[in-house]
Amino acid sequence: MSELLKFHFDVDGTDFTSAGQASVQVKKNLRQLGIPPEIIRRVSIAMYEGEINMVIHAGGGEADVIVTETAIEIRLHDHGPGIKNIDQAMQEGFSTATDTIRTLGFGAGMGLPNMKRYSDDIEIHSELGVGTDIIMRVNLT
């Protein structure tokens, strides 16, 4: 799996309005590379949910998107509070989001399930008080 291209983004945790900018940019970049639209859609939705989570739960973080010949890999990294129980967090409807977040259209507890839905493979590493690392892969072949 040799790396062909890598895009790096800093995700600002202070501004909900700008959350998702990195995902919009990734969508543009992948279009220019001639990646099939259905793959682009899956990558950008998975990344968008991850990006929103870093903003609403972790105070921001970093995202890397790596394009290889066989897959597109999204790596998310934050220094937020960490996830206490990953199995529980993966359940549809589980959310610790505040009512304020819910009035903004997120916090339905569908983000992690959506990330799983749209990727072929998801790995979550999280440590309380340290942060969360998520790697998602969407296969190209």
Ligand X SMILES: Nc1ncnc2c1ncn2[C@@H]1O[C@H](COP(=O)(O)OP(=O)(O)O)[C@@H](O)[C@H]1O
Helix (H) or strand (E) holding 126: strand 121-127
**Bridge partner list, 138:** 72
From the CB of 2, what's the least distance to other proteins, in Å? 28
In the numeric block, which tokens belong to residue 101? 């977040």
Number of alpha carbons in the 13 Å side-chain half-sphere of residue 139:
3
User: Could you say whether residue 58 binds other proteins (CB under 8 A)?
Assistant: no
Q: Which residues in the 83-122 window bind other proteins by CB under 8 A?
A: 92, 102, 104-106, 108-111, 113-114, 116-118
Q: How far apart are CA 11 and CA 123, in angstroms?
A: 20
From the CB of 113, what's the least distance to other proteins, in Å? 6
Identity at 120, one-letter amino acid code = D
Q: Give the residue, chosen from 11, 42, 50, 53, that forms a contact with Mg ion under the rule CB under 5 A.
A: 53
Q: How far apart are CA 114 and CA 121, in angstroms?
A: 12
User: Could you say whether residue 111 binds Mg ion (CB under 5 A)?
Assistant: yes
User: Could you say whether residue 124 binds other proteins (CB under 8 A)?
Assistant: no
**Bridge partner list, 71:** 139
What residues line the site for other proteins (CB under 8 A)? 16-20, 23-24, 27, 37-38, 41, 44-45, 48-49, 52, 92, 102, 104-106, 108-111, 113-114, 116-118
